[in-house]
């Protein structure tokens, strides 16, 4: 039997979904009569990640002291390495008090059904200073224009902490039945495929030639058995391409250009933080939990705008304590098609090149081409992928017209 990498912080995964049908029915019935509160999209996404085992070994939402410890020192109360606070912030807790059992309602599903049941350990309010500390440490900026900062500040300052039991996976299982997978499910599939060295590729965008070849480089250089393409399926910032379009484009690329049993296409239910280095560490935690041995880190991994240096999300792995994580990283420079070498390369590995020797296009230029029905050069984007994106952008433009 294949021996997989151990989960983070425990010998086995601890998914918080209530899977037993009888227990699920009992909890669902109990939840109908409990005091309830509609949580933020971020808190709902945290519940989904806890449910699927991605946030192993956490058992629920952090309280104030633990959240501040994680923000400042990247340690939980028990001393476990953890890079980003996992919180349930609300504008107002109403009559909810410590010691109560409450139902958490889903803001992202029609009718706001119960997502989880929570045993409230504490109801605390973050001071302006405490909230500012969390923001500054996690995002390395306090700029309210940063999408992750804006999303966090919009949630409120009142913090509900305590263990949860999760009843469902929000909209992810129903809207992405072919793609959404829990950490438990991905581990099981890795094991069934007989893989032991596994590379994970994080994406919130369609994959162009450079991404595709980066995955191949990582697999070849590491001698990996397989690749898990792991798509973020949750909330993004305005302008990002919707998950169903990304999903279709990536599936087409793998179908046409990857050998059988070499790549798994999966997705996870989480809202993007755009927290750069800290989010890269969090990505590593849940990739380790799902069974990957290596995480590909490109330039500006999980970043946005100019808030982070191009390699900050790589070098932060050199700053954490040795042994904090078991997963390794594969660190990449920008990849692009070299006209001189007639192949995709990492730019740092192509001496004697000028910028004109590479096929590079700005996001704005690509968007403009696709909107006009013009496929980008084949060196930049596979034609099958470009067709899917052209259909999306042209439909988008027609809708605006």
Long-range contacts of 140-143 (CB under 8 A, 24+ apart): 140/276, 140/277, 140/278, 140/307, 140/308, 141/307, 143/307
Secondary structure element (H or E) that encloses residue 367, with its range: helix 363-371
Catalytic, out of 101, 204, 216, 251: 204
Q: Looking up tokens 């449910």, which residue turns up? A: 51
**Can you give the three-state secondary structure of 282-330, one letter per residue?**
HHHHHHHHCCCCEEEECCCCCCCCCCCCCCHHHHHHHCCCCCCCCCEEE
Contact by Cβ (8 Å): 301, 313 = yes
Residue 163 three-state SS: strand
Query: DSSP alpha helices (H): ranges in 52-179?
Result: 64-73, 128-139, 147-153, 172-175
Could you tell me the two tokens for 270? 């989480």
Contact 346, 310 (CB under 8 A): no
Give the angle 158-164-168 at the CA atoms, nearest 5°. 110
The span from the CA of 141 to the CA of 162, in Å, is 28
Do 257 and 62 touch, CB atoms closer than 8 A?
no
Count Cβ atoms below 10 Å from residue 12 Cβ, excluding itself.
Answer: 12
Among candidates 214, 218, 178, which has minimal Cα distance to 198? 218
Q: How far from 390 is each of 213, 369, 380, 384, CA to CA, in Å?
A: 22, 8, 14, 10
Residue 205 designated active-site: yes
Give the integer Cα–Cα distance in Å for 103 and 115: 8
Place of tokens 């629920």: 60
**27 token code pair:** 């909890």
Q: Which of 171, 273, 203, 376 is nearest to 393 (CA)?
A: 376
334 in active site: no
Catalytic residues: 204-205
């Amino acid at each position: 039997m294949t021996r997989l990498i151990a989960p983070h912080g425990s010998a086995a995964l601890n998914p918080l979904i209530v899977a037993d049908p009888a227990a699920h029915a009992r909890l669902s019935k109990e939840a109908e009569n409990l005091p309830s509160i509609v949580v933020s999209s971020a808190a709902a996404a945290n519940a989904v990640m806890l449910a699927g085992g991605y946030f192993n070994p956490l058992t629920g939402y952090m309280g104030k002291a633990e959240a501040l410890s994680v923000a400042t020192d990247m340690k939980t109360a028990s001393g476990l390495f953890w890079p980003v606070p996992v919180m349930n912030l609300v504008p107002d807790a109403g009559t909810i008090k410590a010691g109560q059992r409450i139902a958490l309602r889903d803001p992202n599903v029609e009718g706001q059904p119960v997502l989880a049941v929570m045993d409230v350990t504490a109801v605390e309010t973050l001071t302006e200073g405490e909230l500012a500390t969390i923001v500054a440490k996690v995002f390395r900026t306090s700029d309210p224009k940063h999408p992750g900062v804006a999303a966090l500040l919009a949630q409120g300052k009142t913090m509900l902490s305590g263990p949860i039991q999760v009843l469902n996976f929000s909209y992810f299982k129903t809207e992405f039945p072919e793609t959404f997978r829990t950490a438990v499910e991905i581990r099981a599939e890795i094991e069934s495929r007989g893989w032991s060295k596994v590379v994970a590729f994080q994406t919130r965008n369609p994959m162009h030639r450079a991404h595709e070849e980066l995955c191949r480089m990582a697999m070849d250089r590491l001698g990996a058995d397989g690749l898990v393409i792991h798509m973020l399926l949750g909330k993004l910032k305005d302008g990002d391409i919707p998950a169903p379009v990304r999903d279709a484009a990536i599936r087409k690329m793998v179908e046409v250009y990857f050998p059988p049993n070499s790549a798994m296409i999966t997705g996870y239910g989480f809202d993007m933080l755009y927290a750069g280095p800290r989010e890269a560490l969090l990505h590593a935690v849940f990739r380790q939990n799902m069974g990957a041995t290596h995480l590909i880190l490109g330039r500006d991994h999980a970043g946005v705008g100019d808030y982070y240096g191009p390699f900050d999300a790589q070098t932060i792995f050199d700053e954490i304590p040795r042994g904090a994580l078991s997963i390794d990283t594969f660190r990449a420079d920008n990849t692009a098609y070299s006209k001189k070498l007639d192949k995709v390369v990492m730019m740092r590995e192509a001496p004697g090149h000028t910028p004109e020797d590479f096929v590079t296009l700005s996001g704005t230029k690509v968007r403009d081409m696709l909107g006009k029905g013009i496929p980008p050069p084949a060196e930049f984007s596979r034609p099958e992928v470009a067709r899917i994106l052209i259909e999306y952008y042209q439909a988008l433009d027609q809708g605006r017209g």
